[in-house]
Copies of this chain bind each other. A is one copy, B any other.
């Protein structure tokens, strides 16, 4: 399919369907974004922006999945979070006016809207409800980052892998066959958990042996959530 054949989504509609942050905007404001934004398509593996670069706008995901990661010294990626339809990325650098502290790469083919920095800044200035919602968003993410720090610092790889699997279930849900609706390489899984690829492989096959998951390439079928929860050492 050629790029021009994919219809450009309207913000007010996408806000409703995907629950974007733009749901707190007036019709005039979403119209402004519709006018100023640039619709882009990206394929798996493509890079949206990379660490250290200056950012001239942020992205609102309409379709697809993106991984946001930092690159360690030896080139090893640490995945910080995923963005899926309705999420925005790169807003951090825009608002703090710093260079990008992460890179973003496509996991699953994407349709995104690119919105210039000025728009975000001016909305924050002119619409106080929107500003508050952005603050809620940033503060919420901060809370999650703090939890993640504690987990990585204190839990074993085994515990973290179980926890991450459950988080992925929360974020991306299971299909009708209980298969996780996000497909990651073993290396990517390792780069979330913060471990070596081989360790993920070994632990996954242990989980399989224990009847917690079923593996078929990148398809992970979740058989026993409760069991994973127990391993992960979280109670919620």
Contact = CB atoms under 8 A, between A and B. Distances in A.
Interface in A43-89: 70, 72-74, 76, 78, 80
Complex copy number for this chain: 2
Given A78-B150, A125-B128, A101 B143 contact: yes
Interface of A is mostly: helix
Given A76-B154, A78-B154, A145 B145 contact: yes
Contacts of A95: 132, 135-136, 139
A152 B194 contact: yes
Given A124-B132, A154-B194, 17 more contacts: A70-B149, A70-B150, A72-B153, A72-B155, A73-B154, A73-B233, A92-B139, A96-B136, A96-B139, A97-B136, A101-B147, A102-B146, A138-B139, A142-B142, A142-B145, A145-B146, A152-B152
Interface of A: 70, 72-74, 76, 78, 80, 91-93, 95-98, 101-102, 121, 124-126, 128-129, 131-132, 134-136, 138-143, 145-150, 152-155, 194, 233
